[in-house]
Amino acid sequence: MTAPAPPGLRPDLAPIVGMIEPGSRVLDIGCGDGELLEYLVHRRQVTGRGMEIVQEGVNACVARGLSVIQGDADTDLSDYPTAAFDYVVLTFTLQATRDPRQVLAEMLRIGRYGIVSITNYAYWPLRLGLLLRGQMPTAEVDGVAWHASGNIRRCTIVDFETLGAELGLSVDRRIGLGRRHPDGRLPEVRCLPNLRACQAIYLLHRDPGS
């Protein structure tokens, strides 16, 4: 079980906070309205920067006093210098990019560590739904029909780890999370995560020499 989320922080963001050293430099790609970034800046004393594609999100962030630019993970990461950050965070954004392979490579060029969260499309109720109903998963994941979902690159925990290995990335930590409890907590799944976790959060770094 993960610890209860800190007050005011979304439960799925809490494990990410735990992966980040206080006082480090963090780039949050797809930072939304800045909830994670604000928490990190104010409670973990990080030097935080953000990128967000949706204008309302950017404005919300800047109005919170955060340094955030409007940008697209697929095209704008090349503007950042190498090793500019300690951590580059990508929460539920990787599967919405056109070229996740390139985005991952860029992340670990810009940052020493990458933190990525993904939706696990091998979660057993999704498998069952596909088997029995013959339909793509919706409600179990983001509640959005296949044609409306931003996740255009759907993958499983096994798929993601295969790509990571191809790119020479090492997994420092993996946290599988199960279905949300009624009280909002997200239980950690340690056993058979590709079957039993509906999402996974990774702390990655690039192997030296790769």
Partner 1 sequence: MNAPTISEDRPQDTVRFGRDAPLRLDCGVALDGLAIAYQTYGELNAARSNAVLVCHALTGDQHVASPHPLTGRPGWWQLLVGPGRLVDTRRFFVICANVVGGCQGTTGPKEPDPTTGRPYGLDFPVITVGDMVRAQAMLLDHLGIDQLFCVLGGSMGGMQVLQWASAYPDRVYAAVPIATAARHSAQNIAFHEVGRQAIMADPDWRDGKYLEFDVRPRAGLAVARMAAHITYLSEPALHRKFGRNLQDRERVTYGFEADFQVESYLRHQGSTFVNRFDANSYLYITRAMDYFDLAAEHEGVLAKAFARTPVRFCVVSFSSDWLFPTAQSKAIVRALNAAAANVSFVEIQTDKGHDAFLLDEPEFHATLAGFLNGCAERRGLPGPA
Residue placing its CB nearer to partner 1 in the complex, 109 or 185: 109
Considering only residues 75 through 94, tell me which ones interact with partner 1, judged by CB under 8 A. 76, 79-81, 84
Backbone angles phi, psi at 37, to 5 degrees: -60, -45
> Contact between 21 and partner 1 (CB under 8 A)?
no
The correct pick among 3, 23, 45, 63 for binding partner 1 (CB under 8 A) is 63
The rounded distance, in Å, linking the Cα atoms of 166 and 100 is 13
Q: Which residue has the tokens 């993996």?
A: 174
> Contact between 43 and partner 1 (CB under 8 A)?
no
Residue placing its CB nearer to partner 1 in the complex, 88 or 157: 88
> Contact between 44 and partner 1 (CB under 8 A)?
no
H-assigned helices in the chain: 14-19, 35-43, 55-63, 73-76, 100-110, 124-132, 157-166, 193-196
> Contact between 58 and partner 1 (CB under 8 A)?
yes
Residue placing its CB nearer to partner 1 in the complex, 81 or 182: 81
CA 20, 164, 159, 70 torsion-angle sign: positive
Min dist. Cβ of residue 79 to partner 1 (A):
4
The correct pick among 68, 122, 155, 186 for binding partner 1 (CB under 8 A) is 68
Return all residues near 209 (Cβ < 8 A) that are at least 6 apart.
Answer: none
Return all residues near 9 (Cβ < 8 A) that are at least 6 apart.
Answer: 17, 35, 36, 39
Min dist. Cβ of residue 103 to partner 1 (A):
16
Give the binding site for partner 1 (CB under 8 A): 49, 55, 58-59, 61-71, 76, 79-81, 84
